[in-house]
Amino acid sequence: MALIDKYQSLVDMANQLGISGLNVTDDGNVLNIDGVAGSAQAKQQLWDEYARLDPDFRSGDVVMNISAPEGDKGSSSGGGSGSTYTVQSGDTLSKIGSHYGVSWQKIFEANRDKLDDADKIRPGQELTIPQD
């Protein structure tokens, strides 16, 4: 089954929620879903739908990079100095860094408030991706 078919309800929900800049690409192994949600609640609805389709996020065949406005919980850097990424099953800081063109060390340093060990990231964690 093609990934787009497997996760069609997730894509449909993203469209219904009005995710701006929605970009869905299927490279055969991973379905990438990128965009900006209008609210943290809309973003959470997408994650809830993903969890319904793939409990425990075990398939590792979806990468959702959906950002949303959220209450500032003590950002360690100035506004607009990076983006956020939600960790998926199978991710490493190196893998995330190579996707964004940033070293894993910079990602680790930007998230010291959330991470104690660079080798211990969990699906669902929201990481700040600094600009290089």
Q: What stretch of H or E contains 45?
A: helix 40-53
Asked whether this chain's domains 3-67 and 82-130 adopt the same fold, the reply is no
Measured CA to CA, the distance from residue 46 to residue 31 in angstroms comes to 14
Measured CA to CA, the distance from residue 35 to residue 43 in angstroms comes to 10
Handedness of CA 116, 121, 124, 126 (dihedral sign): positive
Domain extent listing, the chain: 3-67, 82-130
Q: What is the residue-wise DSSP string for 61-111?
A: -EEEEEE--------SS-TTSEEEEE--TT--HHHHHHHHT--HHHHHHHT
Q: What are the angstrom distances between the C-alpha of 46 and each of 103, 110, 121, 130?
A: 28, 25, 21, 24
Q: Bridge partners of 20?
A: 36
pLDDT digits (tens, 9 = 90+) for 12-50: 999 999 999 999 998 888 888 999 988 888 888 898 898
Measured CA to CA, the distance from residue 119 to residue 93 in angstroms comes to 8
Measured CA to CA, the distance from residue 34 to residue 17 in angstroms comes to 13
pLDDT digits (tens, 9 = 90+) for 86-124: 888 889 998 888 888 888 999 999 999 999 899 999 888
Task: Give the per-residue pLDDT at 1.
Answer: 59
Q: What is the pTM of this model?
A: 0.54
Give CA 101 to chain center in angstroms.
16
CATH (one of 3.40.710.10, 3.40.640.10, 3.30.460.10, 3.50.50.60) for 3-67: 3.30.460.10
The topology (CATH level 3) of 82-130 is Membrane-bound Lytic Murein Transglycosylase D; Chain A (3.10.350)
